[in-house]
Amino acid sequence: MRSRVGRATTAAVLGGLLAAGCGSGNQDTASSAAGKDGGSTGGFPVTVTDCAGVRTTFASAPKSIVTSNASSLELLLRLGAGDKVIGTGFPPGKGTLPGELDARAQRVKVLSDTVIPKEKLLGSGADLYIDTFASMNMGGGMGDAPTEEEFEAAGIKHTFLKSTACAAMRKGPVTDLTAVEDDITALGAVTGTSAKARELVDGMRGKVDAVRKAVGGTPESERPTYFFFDYDAGTKQPMAVCNRQVAHAVITLAGARNVFADCDGDYKQVGWEDVIARNPDWIQLGVRDRGSESANDKAFDEARGWLQSNPATKGLKAVQEGHFLRIGSEQTTIAGVTNADTVESIAKTLYPGKAGRR
C-alpha cells in the first residue's frame, strides 16, 4: 500500500539523495541486460542506479529478495520472480490482488505490517532489498533505516522503485508512465525476467496509446478538471495529489486536468477551501482496497456520502452532478502495471463517446 507512509515521502527522504538522477525519462534504468532476452541466467551483469545516480551492479540474479511494500512485491509477482521473495513490509491485504497473484502474495512472509524494523531487515537473509519509499527515518520505535554501509555489511544490495522513491525530487511534473515502465524494465533485468518485463510494458503502452488516440486531441481548456479524494488519508484536511506523483500522470493521460497540478511535489495537505476554489468537474473516490468487492463498495459509498453531507463539499460541482469515479487508491497512486488500467477507466468515464462506454 502507499498508505500511511507513501504521503510522508516528500518530507522524509534524506537530503543525501539529490534530484540529479530522478528525471522521468528512461535514463539510468538498467544497463547491460535491458535489451536482452530475459532468461533466468542471461543478460548479466546488470547495473541500476538510485535517485542520486549511484550505481549498483548485479553479476547474477538475486536469490532472496525482501520488498518494502506491496507495490514492489506485486511487480515481482507479475514478472514471475515472486518465488525469490522471502519477506515484505506493508503486505497486501487478502483479496487486494487479482486471482493467483493474491494467493502467491499471501504466501510471502510478512516481516512487518508497516516499515520493516532495521535489525529484522538486516538479519533477513536477503541479498536484495527493493525500496519503494527511499531512505527515511520512520520513528515510532522502529529505529532508523539502515545505512548503505550497513546494507553492504549484511550482504544486501539496496535498490529503489525510482518512480515512487524519487517522486518528490523529480524535476518538473510527471505526465507519462515512463518512470513506471523503467522500473519494470529494471526489475526485469535484475531478476532475469526481461522478456516478461517487455510484455508488461508493451501491454501498458498499448492501453495508454489507445486512450491518447481517442482523447489526446481534446484542447486543454476543454478537458474536465479532476480531484483525487484520498478518503483514507483523512477528511479533516484533504491530501492533494501533486504534479510529481504518478497519479498526476494517470489523470493527465486520461484527458483530465488535475486541480492541484500547480503543486510541486508528490503530496501536500491542503484545505477544503482550496478544493472549493478549484471546484472540480469530477472527483475520484480514492479508497484503499478492503479485500472484497462488497467491502470496497461500502467504502466508496462512505466516501461519497461524506462529500454529499459535509457542508464544505456538498456544493461542489462534481458533488451536485454526481460526477464520482469509484477507482481505488493503489492502482492510481502506486506505480505499477495497473496505472494503465486506471488511465483507461478514467478516460471511459470522462469521454464515453470517444474512449468507450462507462
- pLDDT tens per residue across span 121-133: 999 999 999 998 8
Mean confidence (pLDDT) of the chain: 86
Supply the pLDDT for residue 46.
Answer: 97
The residue with greater pLDDT, 357 or 117, is: 117
pLDDT at 16 (0 to 100): 29
Positive or negative, the Cα torsion across 191, 136, 329, 292?
A: positive
Distance CA 160, CA 196 (A): 20
Residues belonging to the chain: 358
At residue 190, what are phi and psi to the nearest 5 degrees? Answer: -65, -35
> What value does the mean pLDDT take over residues 208-228?
96
Cis peptide before 311 (omega within 30 of 0): no
Least confident segment among 47-51, 94-98, 337-341: 94-98
171: Cα within 13 Å, side-chain hemisphere? 9
26 CB-contact burial (10 Å; exposed 0-12 / middle 13-18 / buried 19+): middle
Mean per-residue pLDDT for 111-118? 95
Judged against a pLDDT cut of 90, whether residue 10 lies above it is answered with no
The owner of cell 522521468 is 24
SS3 173: coil
Identify which has the larger pLDDT, 41 or 314. 314
pLDDT category of residue 24 using cuts at 50, 70 and 90:
very low
Closest CA to 17 of 135, 137, 147: 135
Instruction: Identify the residue with better confidence: 43 or 22.
Output: 43
- What lies within 8 Å, CB to CB, of 179 at 6+ separation is 24, 162, 163, 166, 170, 246, 335
Query: Which distant-in-sequence residues (6+ apart) come within 8 Å of 10 by Cβ?
Result: 168, 265, 266, 267, 268
Calculate mean pLDDT across residues 177-186. Answer: 96
pLDDT in tens, 307-351: 999 999 999 999 999 999 999 999 999 889 999 999 999 999 999
- What is the DSSP secondary-structure string of 285-354? EEPPP-SSHHHHHHHHHHHHHHHHH-TTTTTSHHHHHT-EE---SHHHHS-STHHHHHHHHHHHHH-TTT
User: Across-strand partners of 88?
Assistant: 67, 110
pLDDT at 34 over 80: no
Residue 217 reports pLDDT greater than 50:
yes
Q: What would the pLDDT profile of 55-92 be if each residue is shown by its tens digit?
A: 999 999 999 999 999 999 999 999 999 999 999 999 99
What's the confidence (pLDDT) of residue 171? 81
Reply yes or no on whether the pLDDT at 259 is more than 90.
Answer: yes
- CA atoms 101, 104, 106, 110: torsion sign: negative
Distances (CA, A) of 328 to 199, 248, 299: 24, 15, 10
CB-side neighbour CA atoms (13 Å) of 284: 35
Closest CA to 228 of 242, 218, 216: 242
Whether the Cβ atoms of residue 243 and residue 262 lie closer than 8 Å to each other: yes
Residue of 28 and 177 predicted with greater confidence: 177
Give the phi and the psi of residue 39 in degrees, each rounded to 5: -75, 175
User: What pLDDT is stored for residue 31 in this prediction?
Assistant: 55
- Residue 355 has what pLDDT? 74
Q: Concatenated DSSP letters for 3-36?
A: HHHHTTHHHHS-TTS-GGG--SSSTTS-BTTTTS
Q: Which domains does the chain show, CATH number per domain?
A: 3-172 (3.40.50.1980), 202-350 (3.40.50.1980)
What's the whole-number mean pLDDT along residues 197-206?
Answer: 98
